[in-house]
Amino acid sequence: MHDLAQQIVSGLATGSIFASMALALVLIYRAMGIINFAQGELAMFTTYIAWQLTQTGMPMLLAFALAVLIAFVGGVALERIVVRPVERAPQLTVVIVTLGLFTVFNGLAGWFWGYVVKSFPTPFPTTPLNIAGVAFSAQDVGVIVVSLITLGLISLFFQKTKIGLAMRAAALYPEQSRVLGIHVGWMLALGWGLSCVVGAISGIMVAPALFLDPNMMQSVVVYAFAAAVFGGIESPIGAVVGGLVLGVVLNLLGTYVEAIGNELRLAAALAIIVVVLMVKPSGLFGRTTVQRV
């Protein structure tokens, strides 16, 4: 029983990382109908920036906060400079541009920091946490708490602030919003900034476990795709629920089902993506839309 509880908590911890990355994807998808294939690489890059800042002797939390701030500014800048010109271009063009970003940031990370795996400091205590007689990893619990706080803040921001409302309006009704004086372009850029912030936080949270490496987020992004698709790619709640469920299920499958093990977990995520897209493309929480032909 203890073992199962530990596995579930550790699944929730990876799940909350998937959930954050999935939310980052959903934020951009809802706003612009774009899947940002570079999302994971952007998160990886800002995690490297955080690492670099801690190397200068800066206090860890300050370094992380600064990296997240850089992620926000970087996200806004990328939208304004690179994505905006192709915003109305065909899907293939947009996909290729985000893949271009993917390649650039993957290469830049390799260029600046090399391909040797680096360890990343954890802000959480290394001693296990004892809850109701079961020892949980403090890292796992910390990741869950931080992710939930992040997701909660994002949700509050969209529900309770004026600018959050404006961003939702700009995403759903760009023309009408423009008439009402909302600067739609900047709202979309803000969406990219926020999404990069969420990505950066999940990168910093996952790095102590995965170790820093320019390719570290590639599989995380596939899991995040699976989570987003499973929950419905238009639904932020769906992304979070999908991420948590996926984290727990994959962890239990990997631990208790011999045939899947660690290597086929990616394949399981791929299977989820394909099956959900074929059977119920709108996912758990999405709206069903009708398409001609």
Partner 1 sequence: MRSNARWVPVAVAVAVIALLPALVPSFVVFDLIFVAAYAIAVLGLIILTGMNGQISLGHGAFMALGGYVAAVLAHNAGWPYWIGVPLAAVACGVFGLLIGLIALRLAGVYLALATFSLAVATPSFLKHYKSITGGFGGMSLDAVKAPAWFPLDGQHWLYYVAWAVAGICFLLSAVLVRGTFGRALRALRDNPVAAVSFGINPYYYKTLAFGWSAALAGVAGAFLAIATAFVSPDTFSFALSITLLIGAVLGGILTFWGALIGALIIEFLPLVAQQVNAAAPSVVYGVTLILMMLFVPDGVAGGLQRAVRRFVPAQRTKPALEPFTPSAAPIAADQPSRE
Residues that bind partner 1 (CB under 8 A): 33-35, 37, 82, 84-93, 95-97, 99-111, 115, 185, 214, 218-219, 221-222, 225-226, 229, 261, 263-267, 269-270, 273-274, 277-278, 281, 291-293
Q: How far is the CB of 212 from partner 1 (least distance, A)?
A: 15
Distance between alpha carbon 137 and the CA centroid of its chain, in Å?
22
The closest alpha carbon to 72, from 230, 195, 172, 213, belongs to 195
Write phi, then psi, for 111 (nearest 5 degrees). Answer: -65, -50
Using CA atoms in the order 252, 254, 258, 261, what is the torsion angle rounded to 10 degrees? 180
Q: Which is nearer to partner 1, 68 or 227 (CB)?
A: 227
Q: Which is nearer to partner 1, 6 or 36 (CB)?
A: 36
Q: How far is the CB of 138 from partner 1 (least distance, A)?
A: 30
Size of the chain in residues: 293
* List of residues 6+ apart from 185 with CB closer than 8 A: 80, 84
Q: Rounded CA gap, 277 and 287, in Å?
A: 13
245: left (phi over 0), alpha (psi -120 to 50) or beta: alpha
Q: Rounded CA gap, 157 and 165, in Å?
A: 8
Q: Which is nearer to partner 1, 63 or 250 (CB)?
A: 250
Q: Would you give the end-to-end CA distance of the chain in angstroms?
A: 51
Q: Which is nearer to partner 1, 9 or 272 (CB)?
A: 272
Q: How far is the CB of 270 from partner 1 (least distance, A)?
A: 5
Q: Which is nearer to partner 1, 58 or 104 (CB)?
A: 104
Enclosing H/E stretch for 18: helix 2-32
Q: Which is nearer to partner 1, 8 or 108 (CB)?
A: 108
Q: Rounded CA gap, 141 and 162, in Å?
A: 33
Q: Which is nearer to partner 1, 129 or 264 (CB)?
A: 264
Distance between alpha carbon 33 and the CA centroid of its chain, in Å?
16
Q: How far is the CB of 28 from partner 1 (least distance, A)?
A: 12
Q: How far is the CB of 267 from partner 1 (least distance, A)?
A: 5
Instruction: Answer for the pair 103, 40: CB distance below 8 angstroms, yes or no.
Output: no
Q: Rounded CA gap, 230 and 247, in Å?
A: 12
Q: Which is nearer to partner 1, 77 or 277 (CB)?
A: 277
Q: How far is the CB of 141 from partner 1 (least distance, A)?
A: 29
Q: Rounded CA gap, 59 and 252, in Å?
A: 36
Q: How far is the CB of 288 from partner 1 (least distance, A)?
A: 14
